[in-house]
Amino acid sequence: ETGVTQTPRHLVMGMTNKKSLKCEQHLGHNAMYWYKQSAKKPLELMFVYSLEERVENNSVPSRFSPECPNSSHLFLHLHTLQPEDSALYLCASSQVGLAGGRGNEQFFGPGTRLTVL
C-alpha cells in the first residue's frame, strides 16, 4: 500500500447505527486530518492529530469521535448521525514543522462516501 488509504469507500447507515471510518498513511508523516466535503462547499476541517495528539477540533458535534492510536492510523467513530452528515469524508496527512513553512502539503486518501438514511 502506498500513500493514504481509507476504508470503507462507501457506507450507508441508519441514524441509530454505530460505524467507524479508518485511515492509514504510509508516508511517514507526523500529522493526520479528517475533513468533511459536502456538495458545493469548501473542505471543512474536522480534526487534526499530530504525533497522536489532537491539536485541532473545529467545533465538531460529539456524534463524531476521532481516535489516533499511532502516527499512521486514524479513525472516525460515528454514532447517531443525522441525514445532513451525509458527505464525502476525507483523511489526509502531512509533514508539519519544516523550516519556513515548507512541507505542509497534505495528501488525501480516496475518501469515504457516507450516506445517512
Contacts of 109 (CB under 8 A, 6+ apart): 3, 4, 5, 6, 23, 25, 90, 91, 92
DSSP 3-25: SEEEE-SEEEE-TT-EEEEEEEE
Site string for another protein, 36-55 (x = CB under 8 A): ----xxxx-x--x-x----x
Binding mask 71-110 for another protein (x = CB under 8 A): -----------------x-x---x-x---xxx-xxxxxxx
Is the CB of residue 15 less than 8 Å from the CB of residue 114? no
20-28, 34-42, 60-68, 70-78 -> range binding another protein (CB under 8 A): 34-42
Rule CB under 8 A: say whether 12 interacts with another protein.
Answer: no
16 or 42, CB closer to another protein?
Answer: 42
* 44-to-37, 70, 90, 97, 113 alpha-carbon distances in Å: 6, 23, 10, 22, 15
Q: Among 68, 81, 87, 111, indicate the residue that binds another protein (CB under 8 A).
A: 111
Give the residues lining the site for another protein (CB under 8 A). 31, 33, 40-43, 45, 48, 50, 55-56, 88, 90, 94, 96, 100-102, 104-111, 113
